[in-house]
Amino acid sequence: MSTTPTFGQRLRAATAQHGPLCAGIDPHRALVESWGLTYDLDGLRAFTRACVEAFAGHVAIVKPQSAFFEVFGSPGIAVLEDAIRDLRSSGTLVLLDAKRGDIGSTMAAYAEAYLGESAVSPVDALTASPYLGFESLRPALDTAAANGRGLFVLALTSNPEGASVQHARGTQSSVAGSIVQGAADENATAATAGDLGSTGLVVGATVGSAVQDLGLDLASVNGPLLAPGVGAQGGTAEDLRRVFGDALGNVLPASSREVLAAGPGVTALRDRAGRTNEAMASLLS
Protein backbone atom coordinates (compact mmCIF):
# COMPACT_ATOMS: atom_id res chain seq x y z
CA MET A 1 0.00 0.00 0.00
CA SER A 2 1.35 3.44 -0.98
CA THR A 3 2.35 5.75 1.86
CA THR A 4 2.39 8.82 -0.41
CA PRO A 5 -0.15 11.35 0.89
CA THR A 6 -3.02 11.97 -1.49
CA PHE A 7 -3.71 15.42 -2.89
CA GLY A 8 -6.88 15.57 -0.80
CA GLN A 9 -4.93 14.87 2.38
CA ARG A 10 -2.29 17.47 1.50
CA LEU A 11 -4.92 20.05 0.61
CA ARG A 12 -6.80 19.49 3.86
CA ALA A 13 -3.59 20.00 5.84
CA ALA A 14 -2.70 23.12 3.84
CA THR A 15 -6.07 24.78 4.31
CA ALA A 16 -6.06 23.93 8.01
CA GLN A 17 -2.76 25.79 8.31
CA HIS A 18 -3.29 28.68 5.89
CA GLY A 19 -7.03 29.02 5.31
CA PRO A 20 -9.28 28.21 2.33
CA LEU A 21 -8.25 30.90 -0.18
CA CYS A 22 -7.07 29.84 -3.63
CA ALA A 23 -5.11 32.86 -4.88
CA GLY A 24 -4.92 33.34 -8.63
CA ILE A 25 -2.02 34.51 -10.78
CA ASP A 26 -3.67 36.01 -13.86
CA PRO A 27 -1.24 38.27 -15.73
CA HIS A 28 -3.65 39.54 -18.37
CA ARG A 29 -2.84 42.74 -20.20
CA ALA A 30 -5.08 45.17 -18.31
CA LEU A 31 -3.91 43.96 -14.92
CA VAL A 32 -0.21 43.94 -15.83
CA GLU A 33 -0.45 47.47 -17.21
CA SER A 34 -2.42 48.65 -14.17
CA TRP A 35 0.66 47.77 -12.13
CA GLY A 36 2.69 50.16 -14.29
CA LEU A 37 4.42 47.28 -16.06
CA THR A 38 4.88 46.77 -19.76
CA TYR A 39 2.87 43.96 -21.31
CA ASP A 40 5.84 41.97 -22.51
CA LEU A 41 8.09 39.23 -21.19
CA ASP A 42 9.79 41.55 -18.70
CA GLY A 43 6.42 42.69 -17.37
CA LEU A 44 5.18 39.10 -17.15
CA ARG A 45 8.28 38.10 -15.23
CA ALA A 46 8.02 41.01 -12.77
CA PHE A 47 4.29 40.46 -12.23
CA THR A 48 4.71 36.75 -11.61
CA ARG A 49 7.71 37.19 -9.32
CA ALA A 50 5.76 39.62 -7.12
CA CYS A 51 2.83 37.18 -6.86
CA VAL A 52 5.09 34.27 -5.95
CA GLU A 53 6.90 36.31 -3.29
CA ALA A 54 3.57 37.45 -1.85
CA PHE A 55 1.80 34.08 -1.80
CA ALA A 56 4.49 31.44 -1.31
CA GLY A 57 4.24 30.01 2.17
CA HIS A 58 1.29 32.28 3.04
CA VAL A 59 -1.70 30.73 1.27
CA ALA A 60 -2.68 27.10 0.91
CA ILE A 61 -2.96 26.91 -2.85
CA VAL A 62 -2.18 29.15 -5.82
CA LYS A 63 -3.82 28.95 -9.26
CA PRO A 64 -1.81 30.28 -12.20
CA GLN A 65 -3.84 30.67 -15.39
CA SER A 66 -1.77 28.96 -18.09
CA ALA A 67 -3.21 30.93 -21.02
CA PHE A 68 -1.73 34.23 -19.85
CA PHE A 69 1.75 32.68 -19.93
CA GLU A 70 1.21 30.81 -23.20
CA VAL A 71 0.61 34.18 -24.92
CA PHE A 72 4.38 34.76 -24.76
CA GLY A 73 5.35 31.39 -26.21
CA SER A 74 8.11 29.24 -24.78
CA PRO A 75 9.70 32.13 -22.79
CA GLY A 76 6.32 32.69 -21.11
CA ILE A 77 6.02 29.00 -20.30
CA ALA A 78 9.48 29.19 -18.73
CA VAL A 79 8.23 31.97 -16.43
CA LEU A 80 5.29 29.76 -15.47
CA GLU A 81 7.56 26.80 -14.79
CA ASP A 82 9.79 28.94 -12.55
CA ALA A 83 6.71 30.09 -10.61
CA ILE A 84 5.46 26.53 -10.18
CA ARG A 85 8.85 25.38 -8.93
CA ASP A 86 9.24 28.27 -6.47
CA LEU A 87 5.72 27.97 -5.08
CA ARG A 88 6.00 24.23 -4.57
CA SER A 89 9.45 24.60 -3.00
CA SER A 90 7.87 26.85 -0.38
CA GLY A 91 5.27 24.19 0.43
CA THR A 92 2.46 26.02 -1.36
CA LEU A 93 0.23 23.81 -3.49
CA VAL A 94 -0.15 24.70 -7.17
CA LEU A 95 -3.35 24.22 -9.15
CA LEU A 96 -2.68 24.90 -12.82
CA ASP A 97 -5.72 26.33 -14.55
CA ALA A 98 -5.34 24.87 -18.04
CA LYS A 99 -8.73 23.14 -18.51
CA ARG A 100 -7.29 20.27 -20.52
CA GLY A 101 -9.64 17.75 -22.04
CA ASP A 102 -9.21 15.23 -24.87
CA ILE A 103 -9.43 11.51 -25.58
CA GLY A 104 -7.14 8.52 -25.59
CA SER A 105 -3.42 8.99 -26.02
CA THR A 106 -3.74 12.77 -26.21
CA MET A 107 -5.36 12.97 -22.78
CA ALA A 108 -2.72 10.58 -21.49
CA ALA A 109 -0.03 12.95 -22.78
CA TYR A 110 -1.64 15.94 -21.06
CA ALA A 111 -1.80 13.90 -17.87
CA GLU A 112 1.84 12.93 -18.08
CA ALA A 113 2.87 16.52 -18.85
CA TYR A 114 1.32 17.97 -15.71
CA LEU A 115 0.62 15.13 -13.30
CA GLY A 116 3.03 12.36 -14.23
CA GLU A 117 5.88 10.96 -12.20
CA SER A 118 8.38 12.25 -14.77
CA ALA A 119 6.65 15.56 -15.55
CA VAL A 120 9.13 18.33 -16.36
CA SER A 121 7.25 20.86 -14.25
CA PRO A 122 4.69 18.93 -12.20
CA VAL A 123 1.81 20.64 -10.45
CA ASP A 124 -0.26 19.45 -7.51
CA ALA A 125 -3.53 19.61 -9.42
CA LEU A 126 -4.94 20.52 -12.82
CA THR A 127 -8.29 21.82 -14.05
CA ALA A 128 -9.91 19.63 -16.70
CA SER A 129 -12.88 19.78 -19.05
CA PRO A 130 -15.11 16.66 -19.11
CA TYR A 131 -17.24 17.59 -22.10
CA LEU A 132 -15.99 14.70 -24.19
CA GLY A 133 -17.45 12.52 -21.45
CA PHE A 134 -16.30 12.15 -17.86
CA GLU A 135 -14.47 8.92 -18.68
CA SER A 136 -12.42 10.74 -21.32
CA LEU A 137 -10.51 12.08 -18.30
CA ARG A 138 -9.58 8.57 -17.15
CA PRO A 139 -5.86 8.93 -18.04
CA ALA A 140 -5.65 12.11 -15.96
CA LEU A 141 -7.70 10.68 -13.10
CA ASP A 142 -5.51 7.58 -12.91
CA THR A 143 -2.22 9.45 -13.34
CA ALA A 144 -3.19 11.95 -10.66
CA ALA A 145 -4.16 9.19 -8.23
CA ALA A 146 -0.96 7.25 -8.88
CA ASN A 147 1.21 10.28 -8.08
CA GLY A 148 -0.62 11.91 -5.17
CA ARG A 149 -2.01 14.70 -7.34
CA GLY A 150 -5.49 16.03 -8.00
CA LEU A 151 -7.92 17.00 -10.74
CA PHE A 152 -10.57 19.74 -10.69
CA VAL A 153 -13.32 18.96 -13.19
CA LEU A 154 -15.56 21.68 -14.64
CA ALA A 155 -19.10 21.07 -13.43
CA LEU A 156 -21.06 24.34 -13.27
CA THR A 157 -19.46 27.45 -14.73
CA SER A 158 -20.82 30.96 -14.45
CA ASN A 159 -20.64 31.93 -18.14
CA PRO A 160 -24.15 32.24 -19.63
CA GLU A 161 -23.39 29.73 -22.39
CA GLY A 162 -22.42 27.02 -19.91
CA ALA A 163 -26.00 26.24 -18.96
CA SER A 164 -26.88 25.06 -22.47
CA VAL A 165 -24.52 22.12 -21.98
CA GLN A 166 -24.23 21.68 -18.22
CA HIS A 167 -27.98 21.88 -17.50
CA ALA A 168 -28.95 19.62 -20.41
CA ARG A 169 -30.70 16.45 -19.31
CA GLY A 170 -30.15 12.93 -20.56
CA THR A 171 -32.24 9.88 -19.76
CA GLN A 172 -31.10 9.72 -16.13
CA SER A 173 -29.64 13.07 -15.07
CA SER A 174 -28.29 16.40 -16.21
CA VAL A 175 -24.82 16.65 -17.68
CA ALA A 176 -23.68 18.43 -14.53
CA GLY A 177 -25.27 15.69 -12.46
CA SER A 178 -23.27 13.02 -14.28
CA ILE A 179 -20.06 14.97 -13.57
CA VAL A 180 -20.94 15.29 -9.89
CA GLN A 181 -21.61 11.55 -9.72
CA GLY A 182 -18.37 10.77 -11.53
CA ALA A 183 -16.36 12.80 -9.02
CA ALA A 184 -18.19 11.18 -6.10
CA ASP A 185 -17.36 7.74 -7.47
CA GLU A 186 -13.68 8.67 -7.81
CA ASN A 187 -13.63 9.82 -4.18
CA ALA A 188 -15.48 6.86 -2.68
CA THR A 189 -12.38 5.18 -1.26
CA ALA A 190 -11.24 8.41 0.40
CA ALA A 191 -14.72 8.89 1.85
CA THR A 192 -14.59 5.42 3.40
CA ALA A 193 -11.25 6.31 5.00
CA GLY A 194 -12.58 9.64 6.30
CA ASP A 195 -10.31 11.65 3.98
CA LEU A 196 -11.02 14.41 1.50
CA GLY A 197 -10.99 13.03 -2.03
CA SER A 198 -8.55 14.22 -4.68
CA THR A 199 -11.05 14.69 -7.51
CA GLY A 200 -12.57 18.12 -7.15
CA LEU A 201 -15.11 20.14 -9.06
CA VAL A 202 -15.23 23.69 -10.39
CA VAL A 203 -18.54 25.29 -9.41
CA GLY A 204 -18.96 29.02 -9.91
CA ALA A 205 -20.00 31.04 -6.89
CA THR A 206 -22.43 32.96 -9.10
CA VAL A 207 -24.41 30.07 -10.65
CA GLY A 208 -27.49 31.08 -8.68
CA SER A 209 -30.02 28.33 -8.00
CA ALA A 210 -28.56 25.88 -10.53
CA VAL A 211 -27.41 23.38 -7.88
CA GLN A 212 -30.89 23.21 -6.41
CA ASP A 213 -32.66 23.30 -9.79
CA LEU A 214 -30.61 20.35 -11.02
CA GLY A 215 -30.88 18.42 -7.74
CA LEU A 216 -27.11 18.18 -7.26
CA ASP A 217 -25.66 16.85 -4.00
CA LEU A 218 -22.28 18.55 -3.78
CA ALA A 219 -21.63 17.24 -0.27
CA SER A 220 -21.69 13.69 -1.64
CA VAL A 221 -18.68 14.46 -3.81
CA ASN A 222 -16.40 14.49 -0.75
CA GLY A 223 -13.86 16.47 -2.77
CA PRO A 224 -12.60 20.04 -2.97
CA LEU A 225 -14.94 22.50 -4.65
CA LEU A 226 -13.18 25.37 -6.40
CA ALA A 227 -15.45 28.41 -6.37
CA PRO A 228 -14.40 31.12 -8.83
CA GLY A 229 -16.39 34.33 -8.90
CA VAL A 230 -15.96 35.46 -5.29
CA GLY A 231 -15.17 39.13 -4.74
CA ALA A 232 -14.58 41.24 -7.85
CA GLN A 233 -16.87 39.02 -9.95
CA GLY A 234 -19.77 39.60 -7.55
CA GLY A 235 -19.97 36.39 -5.52
CA THR A 236 -21.18 37.04 -1.97
CA ALA A 237 -21.45 35.16 1.30
CA GLU A 238 -25.10 34.50 0.55
CA ASP A 239 -24.16 33.09 -2.85
CA LEU A 240 -21.69 30.67 -1.29
CA ARG A 241 -24.23 29.43 1.22
CA ARG A 242 -26.96 29.02 -1.40
CA VAL A 243 -24.73 27.29 -3.95
CA PHE A 244 -22.75 24.98 -1.67
CA GLY A 245 -25.01 24.34 1.32
CA ASP A 246 -23.81 21.35 3.32
CA ALA A 247 -20.62 21.21 1.24
CA LEU A 248 -19.32 24.61 2.43
CA GLY A 249 -16.51 22.97 4.39
CA ASN A 250 -14.97 21.69 1.15
CA VAL A 251 -15.06 25.00 -0.73
CA LEU A 252 -11.93 26.75 -1.99
CA PRO A 253 -12.96 30.34 -2.77
CA ALA A 254 -10.85 31.50 -5.71
CA SER A 255 -9.87 35.15 -5.92
CA SER A 256 -7.68 36.65 -8.61
CA ARG A 257 -8.62 40.19 -9.56
CA GLU A 258 -9.64 41.32 -6.08
CA VAL A 259 -6.31 40.26 -4.56
CA LEU A 260 -4.14 41.20 -7.54
CA ALA A 261 -5.60 44.71 -7.64
CA ALA A 262 -3.50 45.44 -4.54
CA GLY A 263 -0.24 45.09 -6.54
CA PRO A 264 2.46 45.72 -7.48
CA GLY A 265 3.89 45.82 -3.95
CA VAL A 266 4.61 42.39 -2.46
CA THR A 267 3.59 43.45 1.04
CA ALA A 268 0.33 44.94 -0.20
CA LEU A 269 -0.45 41.79 -2.17
CA ARG A 270 0.28 39.58 0.80
CA ASP A 271 -1.82 41.74 3.11
CA ARG A 272 -4.76 41.74 0.69
CA ALA A 273 -4.53 37.97 0.34
CA GLY A 274 -4.47 37.64 4.13
CA ARG A 275 -7.54 39.81 4.60
CA THR A 276 -9.41 38.02 1.83
CA ASN A 277 -8.45 34.68 3.33
CA GLU A 278 -9.73 35.70 6.76
CA ALA A 279 -12.98 36.93 5.25
CA MET A 280 -13.46 33.70 3.30
CA ALA A 281 -12.70 31.57 6.34
CA SER A 282 -15.33 33.49 8.29
CA LEU A 283 -17.91 32.96 5.55
CA LEU A 284 -17.27 29.24 5.42
CA SER A 285 -17.21 28.62 9.17
DSSP per residue, 131-159: TT-GGGGHHHHHHHHHTT-EEEEEEE-SS
Confidence of residue 205 (pLDDT cuts 50, 70, 90): confident
Going from N- to C-terminal start, the domains of the chain cover 7-284
Q: How far is CA 231 from CA 53, 224, 254, in A?
A: 22, 19, 9
Asked if 146 contacts 4 with a C-beta cutoff of 8 angstroms, the reply is no
**Span 162-178, average pLDDT:** 87
pLDDT of residue 130: 96
**Span 274-282, average pLDDT:** 89
> CB neighbours (10 Å) of residue 282?
10
Confidence of residue 66 (pLDDT cuts 50, 70, 90): very high
Helix (H) or strand (E) run with residue 104 in it: helix 104-115
Rounded Cα–Cα distance for residues 94 and 85 (Å): 9
pLDDT surpassing 70 at residue 5: yes
Return the DSSP state at 5.
P
Q: Mean pLDDT in the chain?
A: 93
**Span 122-144, average pLDDT:** 97
Rounded Cα–Cα distance for residues 113 and 90 (Å): 22
pLDDT of residue 232: 57
**pLDDT tens digits, residue range 225-276?**
999 977 655 666 677 888 898 999 999 999 888 899 999 999 999 999 999 9
pLDDT of residue 59: 97
Confidence of residue 195 (pLDDT cuts 50, 70, 90): very high
Residue 63 annotated among the catalytic residues of the structure: no
Out of 192-201, 212-221, 237-246, pick the least confident. Answer: 237-246
pLDDT surpassing 80 at residue 86: yes
pLDDT of residue 1: 46
Can the peptide bond before residue 75 be classed as cis, meaning omega within 30 degrees of 0? no
**Span 35-61, average pLDDT:** 98
**Span 184-191, average pLDDT:** 96
pLDDT of residue 234: 61
Selecting among 28, 49, 99, 257, the annotated active-site residue is 99
CATH of domain 7-284: 3.20.20.70
pLDDT surpassing 90 at residue 222: yes
DSSP states along 200-250? EEEE-TT-TTHHHHTT--GGGG-S-EEETTBSTT-B-HHHHHHHHGGGGGG
DSSP helix/strand/coil, 182: helix
> CB neighbours (10 Å) of residue 160?
7
Looking at per-residue confidence, does 7 or 240 come out higher? 7
pLDDT surpassing 90 at residue 97: yes
**Span 112-141, average pLDDT:** 96
Rounded Cα–Cα distance for residues 236 and 44 (Å): 30
Asked if 256 contacts 276 with a C-beta cutoff of 8 angstroms, the reply is no
* Entry pTM: 0.95
Looking at per-residue confidence, does 232 or 27 come out higher? 27
Confidence of residue 280 (pLDDT cuts 50, 70, 90): confident
